[in-house]
C-alpha cells in the first residue's frame, strides 16, 4: 500500500517508493529503496522535501502514535553518522530552585564516587564502575527534570576539585545533549557514562604536570596528550564497558579537520559520541577556573566554540546551544535598560526570555541592589552579551534566587 507521509515521520525500515521533486533536491540517485541506513534517514529529514511516498507492503508502516520512541532509529554509539536533532517531548520541568537542592546533594555524593574510581585508576587497579552507573542514573534523572540546575552547579568548581567536577559536568552535559539529539534512553545513559569516564586516562599523567600553573613543555604536553590512549586501555579492562565509553575516552580530542589527536581523524571518521564528548569537554574546560587561567563567561565560550572552524561538528554545536540555552546560565548580559545582569534560570521553550539577576548600572557605573527579573513578564530585554571585566567587575552575583 502506498502512503504519503511527512519526512519527520520517516523511520528506519520503511520502503521509500518515490521522492517528489527534481533529483537536485535530494542526494539519492534512485527514488525507490529500503531505508536501512541512518545517514539516508538524516539526509531525507534535513532536506527541502516535506513529503515522501512509502510502500507499506515492502517495508515498515508509520507507527499509530506517529512518534513512538524506537531504539533502532538511533545509530549505534560507534556510528560516525550524526543523529538528526529530533528532541524528545519534554517532561514537566521541575522548578529550578527545587532541583538545585537535589542537584547539590547529587554533586556532593558524587565526589567520593569519582575520587575512588580515579584513585583506583591511578594505582593501576581495574576501575569498578558499579557505583558510577548508579551515579549516572541519578544525574540522568536530575537532567531529565531540569538540566539547567545540575549543569549550572557543576560549573562552580575550584582548582582542588576540578578533575572530579569536570567529569560530573561533562556527564551531565552529555546527557542533556543526548536528549536534544533524540537519542534513546539506553544511549543517553551510555553518553552519560562516557562523559563521566572520558578523562580517566589523566590518572596516568603526573599530578605536577596536570596542575602546573605555567605553560607546559613539549614533553609535558605529550604526556597530557597520552591520556586518551591510556584511558582507553584502562577502560578495556572493565567487563561490560560500553563501546561509547571506549570511543569517547580515545577520541574526544579529535577534530573535524583532522588536526586533533591521537589519530588525526576527520569528520565522518569520528563517531557521534566522540563528537559530543569533544564539545562538552571543551565547553566545561574553558568555562572553568584553572591553575593557569580564569574561566571564560559561558556566552563567550559558546561564541568561541561556534567560530572555531574545523574543530567541532556544526550539527552537534547547534544541538548543544539549544540544550544549554542561547544565554547559558551564568552568562553576563547587557539589558536594554543599560543594566548588567547574570542569567540565573532558563526557559527551554523561550530561550530569549530567561530569568536574570540585574546588579549593575552602566549609566551611573555603580552597582545596584541585586534584583530578580523574569524577562517573560518584563519590558526590559537582553540586547547583547556583556564582558564584566570591561566594567571592572571581577565576580558576578550568585545564581541564588
More confident residue, 7 or 250: 250
Q: Are 52 and 20 in contact (CB under 8 A)?
A: yes
Mean pLDDT of 171-183: 94
Three-class SS state of 354: coil
Three-class SS state of 17: strand
Q: Rounded to whole angstroms, how far apart are CA atoms 102 and 4?
A: 47
Annotated domain spans of the chain: 2-68, 96-324, 332-391
Q: Rounded to whole angstroms, how far apart are CA atoms 4 and 52?
A: 6
- What per-residue confidence (pLDDT) applies to 12? 76
> Phi and psi of 355, rounded to 5°?
-90, 135
- What per-residue confidence (pLDDT) applies to 68? 39
Whether the per-residue pLDDT at 229 is higher than 60: the answer is yes
Strand order in the sheet with 2-6: 2-6, 51-55, 15-18, 33-34
Helix, strand, coil % over all residues of the chain, rounded to 5: 45, 15, 40
Q: Rounded to whole angstroms, how far apart are CA atoms 231 and 245?
A: 10
Lowest mean pLDDT among 101-115, 282-296, 326-340: 282-296
**CATH architecture of the domain with residue range 96-324:** Orthogonal Bundle (1.10)
Distance of CA 24 to the CA centre of its chain: 34
Kindly report, residue by residue over 140-151, the tens digit of the pLDDT: 999 999 988 899
pTM: 0.75
More confident residue, 137 or 387: 137
Three-class SS state of 399: coil
3-state SS record for 339-398: EEEEEEECCCCCCCCCEEEEEEECCCCEEEEEEEEEHHHCCCCEEEECCHHHHCCCCCCC
C-alpha cell at 9: 515521520
- What per-residue confidence (pLDDT) applies to 103? 92
- What per-residue confidence (pLDDT) applies to 33? 83
Kindly report, residue by residue over 97-116, the tens digit of the pLDDT: 899 999 999 999 898 899 99
Instruction: Please tell me the total number of residues recorded for the chain in this structure.
Output: 401
Q: Rounded to whole angstroms, how far apart are CA atoms 322 and 300?
A: 16
Q: Rounded to whole angstroms, how far apart are CA atoms 167 and 148?
A: 17
Residue with cell 551611573: 364
Q: Rounded to whole angstroms, how far apart are CA atoms 19 and 98?
A: 49
> Phi and psi of 43, rounded to 5°?
-65, -40
At 50, the pLDDT band (50, 70, 90 cuts) reads confident
Whether the per-residue pLDDT at 135 is higher than 70: the answer is yes
Q: Rounded to whole angstroms, how far apart are CA atoms 317 and 100?
A: 26
More confident residue, 213 or 174: 174
Helix ranges (DSSP H) in 123-226: 130-154, 162-180, 185-197, 207-210, 218-225
Q: Rounded to whole angstroms, how far apart are CA atoms 88 and 4?
A: 24
- What per-residue confidence (pLDDT) applies to 44? 75
Residue 125 gets the label, from left (phi > 0), alpha (psi -120 to 50) or beta, of beta
Amino acid at each position: 500500500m502506498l502512503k504519503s507521509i511527512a519526512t519527520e515521520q520517516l523511520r528506519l525500515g520503511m520502503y521509500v517508493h518515490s521522492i517528489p521533486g527534481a533529483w537536485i533536491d535530494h542526494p539519492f540517485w534512485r527514488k525507490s529503496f529500503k531505508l536501512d541506513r541512518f545517514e539516508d534517514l538524516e539526509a531525507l529529514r534535513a532536506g527541502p522535501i516535506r513529503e515522501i511516498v512509502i510502500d507499506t507492503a515492502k517495508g515498515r508502516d508509520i507507527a499509530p502514535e506517529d512518534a513512538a520512541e524506537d531504539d533502532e532509529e538511533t545509530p549505534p554509539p560507534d556510528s560516525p553518522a550524526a543523529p538528526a536533532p529530533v528532541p524528545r517531548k519534554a517532561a514537566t520541568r521541575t522548578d529550578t530552585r527545587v532541583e538545585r537542592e537535589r542537584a547539590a546533594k547529587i554533586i556532593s555524593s558524587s565526589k567520593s564516587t569519582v575520587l575512588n574510581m580515579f584513585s583506583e585508576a591511578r594505582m593501576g587497579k581495574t576501575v569498578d564502575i558499579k557505583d558510577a552507573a548508579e551515579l549516572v542514573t541519578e544525574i540522568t534523572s536530575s537532567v531529565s527534570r531540569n538540566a539547567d540546575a545540575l549543569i549550572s552547579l557543576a560549573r562552580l568548581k575550584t582548582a582542588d576539585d576540578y578533575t572530579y567536577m569536570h567529569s560530573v559536568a561533562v556527564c551531565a552535559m552529555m546527557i542533556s545533549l543526548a536528549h536534544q539529539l533524540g537519542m534513546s534512553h539506553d544511549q543517553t545513559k551510555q553518553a552519560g557514562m562516557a562523559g563521566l569516564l572520558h578523562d580517566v586516562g589523566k590518572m596516568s599523567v603526573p599530578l605536577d604536570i596536570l596542575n602546573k600553573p605555567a605553560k607546559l613543555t613539549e614533553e609535558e604536553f605529550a604526556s597530557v596528550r597520552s591520556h586518551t590512549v591510556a584511558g582507553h586501555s584502562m577502560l578495556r579492562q572493565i567487563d561490560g564497558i560500553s563501546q561509547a565509553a571506549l570511543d569517547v575516552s580515545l577520541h574526544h580530542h579529535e577534530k573535524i579537520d583532522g588536526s586533533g589527536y591521537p589519530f588525526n581523524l576527520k569528520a565522518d571518521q569520528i563517531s557521534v559520541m566522540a563528537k559530543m564528548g569533544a564539545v562538552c569537554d571543551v565547553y566545561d574546560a574553558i568555562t572553568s577556573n584553572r591553575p593557569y587561567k580564569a574561566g571564560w563567561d559561558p556566552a563567550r565560550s559558546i561564541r568561541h566554540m561556534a567560530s572555531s572552524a574545523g574543530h567541532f561538528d556544526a550539527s552537534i554545536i547547534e544541538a548543544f546551544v539549544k540544550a544549554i540555552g542561547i544565554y547559558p546560565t551564568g552568562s553576563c548580559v547587557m539589558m536594554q535598560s543599560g543594566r548588567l545582569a547574570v542569567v540565573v534560570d532558563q526557559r527551554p521553550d523561550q530561550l530569549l526570555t530567561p530569568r536574570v539577576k540585574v546588579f549593575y548600572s552602566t549609566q551611573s557605573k555603580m552597582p545596584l541592589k541585586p534584583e530578580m527579573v523574569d524577562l517573560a513578564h518584563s519590558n526590559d530585554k537582553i540586547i547583547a552579551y556583556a564582558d564584566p571585566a570591561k566594567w571592572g567587575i571581577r565576580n558576578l552575583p550568585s545564581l541564588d534566587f
